[in-house]
Amino acid sequence: MNRVDFNTLMAIGIHDMKGALNAVISTISDLVDPVTGECRCERERLIHLQYEAQRVNDTLVQLLTLYRRNEGFYTPRFVSTAVYDLLEEQALRQKPLMDYRGVVCEIDCDEDLIWPLDTELMGGLLENVITNTIRYTGGRILLTAARDGDWLRIAIEDDGPGFPESMLGRRDEDQQGVLDRSAGRTGLGLYFCAVVAQLHAGPRPEEGDEGAADSAPAHGGHVELRNHGLLGGGTFVVTLPRLYPG
């Protein structure tokens, strides 16, 4: 698979973090009165500071994960996970920012839905997507998850303007076009999501033959960007295969 060179990923990550750190420095400067030196701890600026700092943290986590993966150091740890709880946990982590921006988030998922996942990887994916969705939504976000045969589909939808036409469609980690600097985006987060989906890979058993799982080729998940979803805006979908323990 034609993976993006890590030096390229590092350069893109530094570009992302530089922008976020500039915003952090500017916000901190605004918090201090230049004349009196008193701190003006306005809620708006503090939440913006938290958002930009989280962006830096997310980028560092993505780069570390991608480096470990490219060097063969990362072995996914799949555990049976309550998908609803995972979605709710990530929604609650973003609640202060959503409350400040007047965003309402709903979850549509069977509370009994269990799926083998690497919770660290999927937590990072969901955090990245939800944070970006808050930025572009008009005021509503919908998190959905459902089983479709041997696949799990998780979607993050919003009522915003949607994705640029050039970004739509299925994205895999071997697509260089994932790293797109158009519209102010570098694409590192999307590339990270594609890698996370691909890391959720397992053998595909033949129909009616569970034993064939051991000899069938491995297959991974993928991500897809769509427009005109249930809320009328953009939809991020990650599709993951059912994993069969060897």
Domain extents in the chain? 6-241
Least reliable range by pLDDT among 32-36, 96-100, 225-229: 32-36
pLDDT of residue 48: 76
Query: Is the model's pLDDT at 84 over the cut of 50?
Result: yes
Query: Is the model's pLDDT at 221 over the cut of 50?
Result: yes
Higher pLDDT pick, 189 / 30:
189
Query: Is the model's pLDDT at 173 over the cut of 70?
Result: no
Q: What is the pLDDT of residues 136-166, one digit of tens each?
A: 999 999 999 999 998 999 999 999 999 988 8
State the pLDDT confidence band at 226, using cuts at 50, 70 and 90: very high
Least reliable range by pLDDT among 89-98, 123-132, 175-184, 232-241: 175-184
Is the domain 6-241 a CATH 2.160.10.10 member?
no
Residue appearing with tokens 């919003």: 158
State the pLDDT confidence band at 47, using cuts at 50, 70 and 90: confident
State the pLDDT confidence band at 89, using cuts at 50, 70 and 90: very high
State the pLDDT confidence band at 41, using cuts at 50, 70 and 90: confident
For residue 5, count CB atoms less than 10 angstroms from its CB and return exposed for 0-12, middle for 13-18, buried for 19 or more. exposed
State the pLDDT confidence band at 46, using cuts at 50, 70 and 90: confident
Q: Write out 108-130 in H/E/C secondary structure.
A: EECCCCEEEECHHHHHHHHHHHH
For 72-110, b/e burial (b = at least 16 CB within 10 A) is eebebebeebbbbebbbebbeebeebbebeebebebebe
- The answer to whether the CB of 201 falls within 8 A of the CB of 172 is no
Higher pLDDT pick, 29 / 129:
129
Count of residues in the chain? 246
